[in-house]
Structure 1
Amino acid sequence: MGRLLSFLLVACLSTTALAADAIKGERKEVFGDTTVHYSTFISTFLQPDIAKAAQLVRSKNQGVINVSVIKAGKPQVTQVSGSVKDLSSRTVPLSFKQITEQGAIYYIAQFPVEQQETRTFTINVAIGGKTETISFNQELFPGE
């Protein structure tokens, strides 16, 4: 599981290689003293043993969204929910699961990626008794 932590941390905090227009820098939102980091990628970027350990389906047609919440430099346990919408406005709910490992906490969910297109993600995160919403677009490319 240590490799899972390392991969998810890098995936969450670094630039994803999936966007056609090259995302500039890490993706994050700051709410007061709390920072929410997030990233998306196709699950084939995961090594088979890492995907298995995280109970993720490794497929060219499965995306992964990874969310972490940091307050005062420490990972936070929280509630994360959300959805992803395609260009035809079909919305798929995201079912996040918490992964806790060696002082890190991540929330991951999978979603289908049938074709290249831009998706709209809406992520809800409970922070300090309030739900904060993050919305972003991401162009996704199913693997080969």
Structure 2
Amino acid sequence: MGRLALLLLTACLSVSIMAAEAIKGERQETFGDMTVHYNTFNSTYLQPDIAKAAELVRSKNQGVINVSIIKGDKPVIAQVSGTVKDLTSKSVPLKFKQITETGAVYYIAQFPVDQQEVRTFEINVQTGDKINTINFNQELFPGE
């Protein structure tokens, strides 16, 4: 049952990534031969059983960030950390958890979304001794 739930979570996250790419273009950064893919979405997009299996809170006031690192066509294990800031520069640390499946590794974290606003994300991806940083802005909306 656990593997099925993770498979469904991966499918859901993949659909969310594809939807975001279709709307805003692909969100990725390339560092040498490594590509970091990232996406944010409201946790209400997750089905309740999928959110529970991934230990995510499903709420209109909770966002999710999904990060994956690819080298060639293979997933990369990394240390992922970061922060999200609101317009007043209040910073919230992102606590990423790793989800590993056959052929895929994802890092997910949640953050509060209390109102519609643009947030600034800083994501640090460490592989070995090297740390790469991604900074981006995202307009967020509370869910339904």
Listed as ranges, the matches of 1:87-98 within 5 Å are: 87-98=87-98
Equivalences for 1:6-85 in 2 at 5 Å? 6-12=11-17, 14-16=18-20, 23-85=23-85
Partner Cα separation in structure 2 for residue 78 and residue 9 of structure 1? 20
**For residue 3 of structure 2, what is the aligned residue in structure 1?**
none
Q: TM-score, normalization: structure 1?
A: 0.91
Would you say the 8 A contact 1:15–1:25 is kept in 2? no
Please report the TM-score for the alignment, with normalisation by the length of structure 2.
0.91
Kindly report the root-mean-square deviation, in angstroms, between the aligned alpha carbons of the 2 structures. Answer: 1.5
Q: Distance in 2 between matches of 1:91 and 1:59?
A: 20
- Measure the CA separation in 2 of the matches of 1:38 and 1:112: 18
Q: Which amino acid aligns with 2:36?
A: V
Q: In the alignment, residue 91 of structure 2 is paired with which amino acid? A: T
- SS of the aligned residue for 2:49 comes to helix
Match of 1:121 in 2: 121
Cα shift at 1:129:
2.3
Deviation string, structure 1 residues 57-78 (Cα, Å, up to 9, x no partner): 0000000000000001001110
Q: By how many angstroms is 1:143 displaced?
A: 1.2
Give yes or no for contact 2:40–2:63 (8 Å, CA) kept in 1.
Answer: yes
After TM superposition, the runs of 4+ consecutive aligned structure 1 residues lying more than 4 A away are none
Q: Encode CA deviations 1:107-144: one digit per residue, 9 max, x unaligned.
A: 00000000000000000001352100000000000012
1:3 match: 8
More helix by percentage: 2
Distance 1:27 1:15, change over 3 A: farther
Query: Is the Cα contact below 8 Å between 2:124 and 2:133 reproduced in 1?
Result: yes
Partners of 2:77 and 2:127 within 8 A in 1: no
Matched with 1:139 is 139
CA–CA distance in structure 2, aligned partners of residues 5 and 87 of structure 1: 31
SS of alignment partner, residue 143 of structure 1 = coil
Where do 5+ consecutive residues of structure 2 fail to align? 1-5
